[in-house]
Structure 1
Amino acid sequence: MMKKILLLLILATFSCSKKDVFEVDRQIIIKPSAKCENGFAGKYPCKDYDLLAHISLEEMAGENTVGNDSWAWVDSATNKEYALVGTNKGVSFIDITNPAKATILGFLKTRTENSSWRDIKVYKNVAYIVSEAKDHGMQIFNLNRLAQVTNPPIEFVADREYSGFGSAHNIVINEESGFAYAVGTKTFAGGPHFIDLSDPFQVKAAGGFEQSAYSHDAQVVTYNGPDLDYTGKEILIGSNENEVVIVDVTDKENPTKIAAISYSNIGYTHQGWFTEDFKYFILGDELDEKNKGVNTRTIIFDFTDLDNPLLHFEYLGKSAAIDHNGYVKGNLFFQANYTAGVRIIDISNIDNKAFSEVGFFDTYPENDNTAFNGAWNVYPYLPSGNIIISDINRGLFVIRKSKS
């Protein structure tokens, strides 16, 4: 009897019908809208990952909408999960707590003009949004407002704006230090532009680093890895078009370049991510497939000694699709791979220079050509285990590992 009461209470909390959910080991799992069976979830090629929800770009922002980056936010007060999906026109905010009943809450328009490049990151319930749109600066949006929407969808306006730079290609945030780093601006020769987020709505410029010129993307961490010389330091890894640079940005007034490393057959050094032990850095080159004629190539560096980074090995995928953004979660690497969708790669044998693909979900079923269509970004960090994908052509997908 108590079990039945508990189940009814949980169902009420999620506002689901019985057909939308089922109980497994006392956890409520949303029933897939399309289960991955015989290599397909509906029309989408897949392996071991089911489709929970799909929201088109037209639903988000009307005709002539093009997708780009994405991020996510969890409301700590309610545990609700939200997708933040970038488009050429602005950002769509979508409640995906129950993907079967995903709700578009509203849309925040671009600050100036449309752009194919928009990027969102979150710190302390606040979204920070940049774009390559002219004079866009950074929009600051209070995510707590999402819980107050009663008649969706609505048109949002930003709470604040930061104009310390005009356009920016990307923004990264070290949530441990409370600093943001805008990259690809016209300040600091395109190098990282530091922003103090200690007051989230009254952010302040905090310097920058221009020694290594343009940085296309970056990851910034409070370091706790094998190189004891840098324990507790704030370390930036920049993907800088033709090399990877390692910078100590602990002292914002005196950032110091530690090292740089390049590699063969460079197309465009695009984006990378540390393994969780900080021993390795996994890099994607965006143009090597197109310009060098190789299959999807992932470059793995050994960062055991930050002063002496080494090339560890290269991993080639199964097609010539272009890799874009990739993120590590545990022993898995989630790689947005444009026309080949999202590939899930087991990196547990990284010490022995071996990766293996263990799953995928292809949001662009037409082909796996070397072209800029399909999956732009993947976000694998939601507590529910659900994974969001933002697709250039088809909008938002929510997927989840298949249950046996």
Structure 2
Amino acid sequence: MPTAALHCVTLASLATALFPVVASSHGDGYPSLYVAEMGVDAGKCVDPATPCRTIAYALSKAEKGDEIRVAYGTFEFETERQEDALKLLGRVVRVRGGYDPDRGFERQVHDPRITFLTGPADDFRFRLAEAGFFLLPETAHGRMDPHAKVILAQADAPDGPVGYVSQGGADTGDCTNPSAPCQTIAYAVSRAGDGQEIRVSEGQFDLDLDTLADAQARQVVVTGSFARASGFAARLAAPNVAALATVVSGPPDLDRGELARNGIRLQQDRKFRSIAPALRSSEIKGPAKCIDGLADGHPCKGIDRVAQMPLGAFSSQPGDANDIWGFRDLNDNREYAIIGLQNGTAVVDVTDPENPAEIGTVPGLPTIWRDVKVYQTFDESEDRWKAYAYVTADDSGAQSHGIVVIDLTDLPNSISAAATLDLVDISHNVYISNVDYSTGAALEGLTPFVYILGSNFGDPSTIGAFFILDVSDPINPVVVQSPPTESSYTHDATTLNIDDDRATACAASPCEVLIDYSEDTVDIWDVTEKGNARKLGSATYSESEYIHSGWWTEDKNFVLIHDELDEADGGLNTTIRVLDIRDLEAPTIAATWTGPTRAIDHNGFTLGDEYLVSTYRRGLTVLDISDPVNLVAINPEELARFDTYIEASADDAEFNGAWGTYPFLPSGTILVSDIEGGLFMLKRQ
């Protein structure tokens, strides 16, 4: 499939597009000042043969009406002071990049050599774009990292007409004007001629199978990750970088690897489609008994509300909440909730669950997908336990989130960000193996590992597949397993250790088995030998729409599976399937539980003979799984429930309400994160 050839140049945070030459107000017709990488900050910068080194110095020497011509290369521009950043946007002194110093700065070059700047803050993103600049993310250290993977490339001029698509465009005409792009890929494909290329800018788009089939039949090539501010002339050479990502949503049938090779990232989680504005109450609500099926207006059965901490009660005033985890601090036995928010990650002391108290929030780039897990390890030199939370985030817009490590060692006093791991820009989920889920501490005789899921780590053929980190040094983990060659996108995962006869299928006993929920299959991996992961078996079912997550029973013989789209797209009532893994190499579906409404099942966890699952608009559901094979026959009704979402009376197949639950606190407090309602503390009667 033909694609535009790319020539690469490195950058850090801001790339200037190629501008037309503008004469200065000085009589000689040449710009007043010159800047180049090999220059020296001395004099007045007016001699093109001896340019200055920094834009900031040149600005300090410039006068009204001057123009600063900057050579191709990489430059730093400090913006601690707002007025300095605004100089880039002002008309008193014009700053223009992309000039060739070997030709006396007389004209801008029209080849891959572009002028890059580091430094300008996000506050100026849109104004800079209007001036022809495109702002890319700073590194974790706020300065250019010479090893950063952010690479921009200028595409070769196309052989023929090109269609252009961008958010904010309009579906009119033939889409061939880069200054007036169309809005949707489907429209651009319908207007394209056979063999035409369609360039898609950064942003979020839909892509359906009919459009893709039409494009393939007529050899229309859809390529992404172009900077609209560059007139679609520059794009990311590395499609795993989030900053200029073209993100499409569509069915699982789309080829994720092929899309990635064309600079397009597939995001199939559709929650952004239906989340409603959050309620802004700041009042923490106290206990409410479940009596005659209601607890303060919440439909319930056998579960009381202990407290509710709404979004307005959090210091960061988030727009919505997402996933939830928790742990018991082994130093003092205090209990904590760690909740993902739209704008960060909050830690809440729930030792007294009727009076939850926020310890702090580590800010994060805005996203509705944030996941967190906890690792607690004993430090012999300090004779105390230390705890860390690993936070992943997906779809942070034109930003790189990385993996944030939160230091929890100063609880209950404070929390802080210990590190941001630059291994990935985005990742959908995180899981920690071989730990007690109530504390995050290592199980006896086992070594914990952190699994990163659904990230942009690795090459396009395995984009999104799991990789594994050794966290012996919690703040500086090391990759010990790259995405296996036969793996695919991993949306969620869990592990269990097998020490019975089934371990003969593995590299050693006990066997560490990974259950990989990979959108259209459940894959079972032997990950006992890190660096040599091997697929053991795989299973699916005829009604699969989007295999999302699941958890295993305590006897380790079965896995309960959640399909996030079978209710919305398949028209089913809440459906949870039971996978029999007594044969690791030939797993089969053994049973199905069907709920009374169309509420979507999301994330579930096993606690003894019970299964606690968040079901969005129906809240928390508790099932009896004492005999998972006969789940339906034994227990056609759930044991208990608590509906956290009462803004709509119907428990429809929509993405509102209970996102996640955490049932492992030793006190018996059950944590539920509600997208609109914040943090719920619940208790079984």
TM value normalised by structure 1: 0.87
Aligned to 1:349: 627
Aligned to 1:18: none
Distance in 2 (CA, whole Å) between partners of 1:42 and 1:71 is: 25
How far 1:63 moved relative to its partner? 4.4
Aligned to 2:23: none
Which of residues 315, 318, 335 in structure 2 aligns to 1:81? Answer: 335
Q: Per the alignment, in what secondary structure is the counterpart of residue 289 of structure 1? A: coil
Distance in 2 (CA, whole Å) between partners of 1:391 and 1:308 is: 37
Asked if residue 359 in structure 1 is aligned to residue 637 in structure 2, the reply is no
How far 1:64 moved relative to its partner? 5.1
Aligned to 2:451: 181
Which of residues 180, 190, 194 in structure 1 aligns to 2:468? Answer: 194
Consecutive unaligned residues of structure 1, counting only runs of 5 or more, are: 1-31, 150-155
Distance in 1 (CA, whole Å) between partners of 2:577 and 2:500 is: 20
Aligned to 1:21: none
Could you tell me whether the CA contact under 8 Å between 2:350 and 2:356 is conserved in 1?
yes
Could you tell me whether the CA contact under 8 Å between 2:591 and 2:629 is conserved in 1?
no
What are the residue-to-residue correspondences of 1:127-206 with 2, within 5 Å?
127-132=389-394, 133=396, 134-149=399-414, 157-174=416-433, 175=435, 176-188=446-458, 189-206=463-480
Could you tell me whether the CA contact under 8 Å between 1:225 and 1:277 is conserved in 2?
no
How far 1:306 moved relative to its partner? 0.3
How far 1:137 moved relative to its partner? 1.1
State the Cα deviation string for residues 264-317 of structure 1 (Å, max 9, x = none).
111100001110111001000000000110100001111001011111011101
Structure 1 residues 398 and 226 mapped into 2: Cα distance closer, same or farther (>3 Å)? farther
Instruction: Work out the number of aligned pairs and report it.
Output: 363
Q: Per the alignment, in what secondary structure is the counterpart of residue 227 of structure 1? A: helix
State the Cα deviation string for residues 121-150 of structure 1 (Å, max 9, x = none).
00111111110124211111121222224x
Aligned to 2:96: none
What are the residue-to-residue correspondences of 1:2-151 with 2, within 5 Å?
33-63=287-317, 65-110=319-364, 113-124=365-376, 125-132=387-394, 133=396, 134-149=399-414
How far 1:183 moved relative to its partner? 0.5
Aligned to 2:230: none
How far 1:212 moved relative to its partner? 2.3
* Counterpart amino acid of residue 378 in structure 1: T
Structure 1 residues 225 and 80 mapped into 2: Cα distance closer, same or farther (>3 Å)? farther
Identity level (%): 34
Structure 1 residues 157 and 246 mapped into 2: Cα distance closer, same or farther (>3 Å)? same
Could you tell me whether the CA contact under 8 Å between 1:61 and 1:89 is conserved in 2?
no
* Counterpart amino acid of residue 307 in structure 1: E
Structure 1 residues 95 and 353 mapped into 2: Cα distance closer, same or farther (>3 Å)? closer
Asked if residue 268 in structure 1 is aligned to residue 527 in structure 2, the reply is no
Aligned to 2:281: none
Distance in 2 (CA, whole Å) between partners of 1:226 and 1:241 is: 29
How far 1:90 moved relative to its partner? 0.7
Consecutive unaligned residues of structure 2, counting only runs of 5 or more, are: 1-285, 377-386, 436-445
* Counterpart amino acid of residue 270 in structure 1: H
Distance in 2 (CA, whole Å) between partners of 1:137 and 1:64 is: 20
Structure 1 residues 241 and 128 mapped into 2: Cα distance closer, same or farther (>3 Å)? same
Asked if residue 294 in structure 1 is aligned to residue 550 in structure 2, the reply is no
Moved more, 272-281 or 174-183: 174-183
Distance in 2 (CA, whole Å) between partners of 1:220 and 1:77 is: 27
Q: Per the alignment, in what secondary structure is the counterpart of residue 411 of structure 2? A: helix
Could you tell me whether the CA contact under 8 Å between 1:85 and 1:390 is conserved in 2?
yes
What are the residue-to-residue correspondences of 1:201-280 with 2, within 5 Å?
201-210=475-484, 211-224=486-499, 227-229=502-504, 230=506, 231-280=509-558
How far 1:209 moved relative to its partner? 2.5
Distance in 2 (CA, whole Å) between partners of 1:40 and 1:71 is: 26
Could you tell me whether the CA contact under 8 Å between 2:408 and 2:416 is conserved in 1?
no
Q: Per the alignment, in what secondary structure is the counterpart of residue 291 of structure 1? A: coil
Aligned to 2:598: 320
Aligned to 1:7: none
Aligned to 2:683: 400
Could you tell me whether the CA contact under 8 Å between 2:498 and 2:510 is conserved in 1?
yes
How far 1:226 moved relative to its partner? 6.0
State the Cα deviation string for residues 187-206 of structure 1 (Å, max 9, x = none).
24211021111111221122
Distance in 2 (CA, whole Å) between partners of 1:72 and 1:226 is: 34
Structure 1 residues 90 and 287 mapped into 2: Cα distance closer, same or farther (>3 Å)? same
TM value normalised by structure 2: 0.52
Structure 1 residues 142 and 157 mapped into 2: Cα distance closer, same or farther (>3 Å)? closer
How far 1:77 moved relative to its partner? 1.4
Structure 1 residues 94 and 353 mapped into 2: Cα distance closer, same or farther (>3 Å)? closer
Distance in 2 (CA, whole Å) between partners of 1:334 and 1:258 is: 28
Could you tell me whether the CA contact under 8 Å between 1:270 and 1:285 is conserved in 2?
yes
Could you tell me whether the CA contact under 8 Å between 1:226 and 1:278 is conserved in 2?
no
Distance in 2 (CA, whole Å) between partners of 1:212 and 1:178 is: 22
Distance in 1 (CA, whole Å) between partners of 2:400 and 2:327 is: 26
State the Cα deviation string for residues 350-376 of structure 1 (Å, max 9, x = none).
233435310001001223111000000
Distance in 2 (CA, whole Å) between partners of 1:353 and 1:177 is: 34
Aligned to 1:25: none
Distance in 2 (CA, whole Å) between partners of 1:221 and 1:208 is: 20
How far 1:186 moved relative to its partner? 1.1
